[in-house]
Amino acid sequence: MKTLNLPATTLPDEAEKLRNEIREFLADEMAAGTFEPRCDSWLGSHSAELSEKLGERGWLGMTWPKKYGGHERTSLERFVLTEELLVAGAPVSAHWFADRQTGPLLLNYGTEQQRQTFLPKMAKGQLYFAIGLSEPNSGSDLASISTRAKKIGNKWVINGAKIWSSGAHHAHYMLVLLRTSPLEDGKKYAGLSQIIVDLSSSGVTIRPINLMTGEHHFNEVIFEDVEVSEEMVVGKLGEGWKQSMAELAFERSGPERILSTYPLLQELLVQLEDSSNPHVKNKIGRLVARLWTLRQMSLSVATLLLEGKSPDIEAALVKDLGTAFEKEVIEVTRDLVSVRPSLSSKNRLEVLLAEAILHAPGFTLRGGTTEILRSIISKGLGV
């Protein structure tokens, strides 16, 4: 049996120093009325203005080399930035995917020209990427995708569709996983590649898919004979599966898998401050213990990644537990206070609760469903 372990780790002093700077910045922004804390702000709260401000501060592309507009800070400093932004419920969705996964992926696999073209603007918070993985007929079974590219001269011609692409309507580019050579029997992971597509190209249609709240975050992105220069292929042709899986490791264990409902928890505590009810204390104590544990786990994964290890099973495990916690905050809130969730309420707790409830189904779906994660974990255990 493989032993899974996430050892206790700690943040270096420079990361803690940065935390104070970030807290001051966010307090100033909130005082100036730039934003109000929102649940799930990394999916749905878009602010080009705040993304640019973060870029000016050197807080995007933090870990990337300076020659690509980065700041050569550690991934643990980025960890601190991420958790502070989420705890504040700040609108960070505009730059989120570029900063979190497309940028690092281009650093790993992109050509020099791709890095020069895209990374500096991403780090300024001016260039956004959308994720191009899921398709209408390929969700959990991602390798079954059917979007394809055909080589004609020195161009690739793309046909197909991507779905659940958060923020594609704001994004400038999408990194698309597609098939560049025909499917051979029993080799579904072969023949897949990743190509960068300019979303303003002719033949690209972005169709909104509204959430059940009516909000527009998701899109279906349709490609009809979209021509892309061969220079836009990322990494090696046929290596797209491996590259995408590495992308998911960055995606799974971060603080955004724990903190999507933190603004609700904070507001709940405001309402409960005078409570002396033992049941209230008991529930809050248990919730806080869990939050602390999960945060220690997420930090441990970040540290292992920094040490060059690949804790992919542990990352799946943190996401499974973390997203369950995000939902638990809702149930504890409903248990402890008598409020009626409503997006149009004047009471902040009622608004945050409504947001959390209506966004919660997505927590345990995005980035790999709970069931898929548990399959990965049990496989890792050697079952």
* 292 counts as binding other proteins under rule CB under 8 A: yes
Q: Say which residue the tokens 């409960």 belong to.
A: 272
* 310 counts as binding other proteins under rule CB under 8 A: no
Q: How far is the CB of 117 from other proteins (least distance, A)?
A: 37
Say if CB 270 and CB 284 are below 8 A apart.
Answer: no
Q: Which is nearer to other proteins, 210 or 378 (CB)?
A: 378
Q: How far is the CB of 333 from other proteins (least distance, A)?
A: 13
Q: Which is nearer to other proteins, 7 or 186 (CB)?
A: 7
Tell me the window of 6-14, 121-129, 161-169, 346-354 that interacts with other proteins (CB under 8 A).
Answer: 6-14
Q: Please provide the size of the chain in residues.
A: 383
* 282 counts as binding other proteins under rule CB under 8 A: yes
**Which of 253, 300, 333, 364 touches other proteins by CB under 8 A?**
300
* 212 counts as binding other proteins under rule CB under 8 A: no
Q: How far is the CB of 204 from other proteins (least distance, A)?
A: 38
CA 198 to chain centre: 21
**Which of 262, 339, 349, 350 touches other proteins by CB under 8 A?**
262
Tell me the window of 59-67, 101-109, 114-122, 263-271 that interacts with other proteins (CB under 8 A).
Answer: 263-271
Site string for other proteins, 214-253 (x = CB under 8 A): ----------------------------------------
* 294 counts as binding other proteins under rule CB under 8 A: yes
Residue 35: CB atoms within 10 Å: 19
Q: How far is the CB of 379 from other proteins (least distance, A)?
A: 8
Q: Which is nearer to other proteins, 212 or 270 (CB)?
A: 270
* 352 counts as binding other proteins under rule CB under 8 A: no
Residue type (1 letter), 321: L
* 256 counts as binding other proteins under rule CB under 8 A: no
* 87 counts as binding other proteins under rule CB under 8 A: yes
Helices (H) and strands (E) in the chain, counts: 13, 8
* 66 counts as binding other proteins under rule CB under 8 A: no
Q: Which is nearer to other proteins, 88 or 221 (CB)?
A: 88
**Which of 5, 200, 202, 338 touches other proteins by CB under 8 A?**
5
Tell me the window of 102-110, 118-126, 210-218, 274-282 that interacts with other proteins (CB under 8 A).
Answer: 274-282
**Which of 152, 209, 245, 288 touches other proteins by CB under 8 A?**
288
Whole-number Cα distances in Å, 43 to 22, 38, 157, 256 = 21, 10, 30, 10
Using CB under 8 A, list all residues that contact other proteins: 1, 4-12, 19, 83, 87, 262, 265-270, 272-273, 275, 278, 280-286, 288-297, 300, 314, 317, 320-321, 371, 373-375, 377-378, 381-383
